Structure 1
Amino acid sequence: MVSTSIRRAIAKKLRANTTPHERILWRALKELPLEGTHFRRQAPIGRYVVDFFCPAKRLIIELDGGHHNDDEAAERDRERQLWLENEGYRVLRFWNSEITADLTAVLERIYVELYGSREADVAPLKHRRRG
């Protein structure tokens, strides 16, 4: 298992080298009028570093580029997602092309995952720190 300090260093490096699609989604997540919704980017969870994480809802958002079509990468993604889901996280995956083609649809899907429906009222989200 990789130490916590190494995972944090990796996450910091990834935050400094975000992809254009990650930057687009990050700006959009920060502009959403969702009171109390807090996302982290390139957050270490277990032995992985996830693209975006909402601790209050244990929601992870992953962006996938074309290299995720490769059989080996797809298998690693599947194993990673299974581990995260077994730990109680929900994982949403989007292709980079979805971010550029229809960002509004991506944000609506995220909203539904956070609040249950497109018509749901925004409610402050609070996460509980695990000891």
Structure 2
Amino acid sequence: MPKNEMLTQIEGIIIYRNFVENLPYNPLLKTLTKEKRKLGILSEVLFWKQVRNRTFHNIDFDRQRIIGNYIVDFYVKTLGLVVEIDGTSHDFKQEYDLERAKFLESLGLKIFKISDWDVKQNLSVAMKDLENFIVENYS
């Protein structure tokens, strides 16, 4: 997949593919990803309803994607974009989150973080912030 190929447009601005190849994958996490999907954390479900089936600018999102020894909330293969919804469980895991972010960024991935509260209380604003992040990083 060529890097400079157009993926979509957001408000007339061309968004280019940034497919990151050969991502590491730990198959031992597969069962855990299925369990996490079934848990149905409210903010993740609300966000998923906004993006599944290419309903967000025709962009394909994966949910609970394994990258290395980590499971990310959402992943966009065609952009090399990780979307993380941070709830209160992240309040005491700053060091872990930092290591994780360093690892993901070392692979050439970009990370968009959104708070659990914003997804539940300001979903339209959160989606606009995601649009802006994509325009800033992939146009």
Of the three residues 16, 30, 41, the one matched with 2:38 is 16
Residue in 1 aligned with 2:134? 114
How many pairs does the alignment contain? 113
Q: How big is the shift at 1:63?
A: 0.9
1:1-46 residue CA offsets vs partner (Å, 9 max, x unmatched): xx833122211111111201100000011273412x1000000011
Report the equivalent of 1:127. none
* Partner residue, 2:124: 104
More moved, 41-50 vs 99-108:
99-108
Give the Cα–Cα distance (whole angstroms) in 2 for the partners of residues 54 and 16 of structure 1.
Answer: 20
- TM-score under structure 1 normalisation? 0.78
TM-score for both structures, normalised by structure 2: 0.73
Q: In structure 2, the residue corresponding to 1:91 is in which secondary structure?
A: strand
Uncovered stretches (5+) of structure 1, i.e. residues with no partner: 121-131
> 2-side partners of 1:106 and 1:67: how far apart?
20
Partner of 2:104: 84
SS at match of 1:49: strand
| Whole-Å separation in 1 of the counterparts to 2:87 and 2:45 | 14
Pick one of 81, 87, 106 that aligns with 1:59.
81
Which residue is 1:26 aligned to?
48
Pairwise CA distance, 1:115: 3.5
* Structure 2 stretches lacking a partner, 5+ long: 1-24
The Cα RMSD (Å) is 2.0
Aligned CA distance change for structure 1 residues 96 and 86 (closer, same or farther; 3 Å)? same
Structure 1 ranges of 4+ moved more than 6 A: none
Distance in structure 2 (CA, Å) of the matches to 1:84 and 1:91 = 8
Structure 1 residues 32, 111: closer, same or farther in 2, change over 3 A?
farther
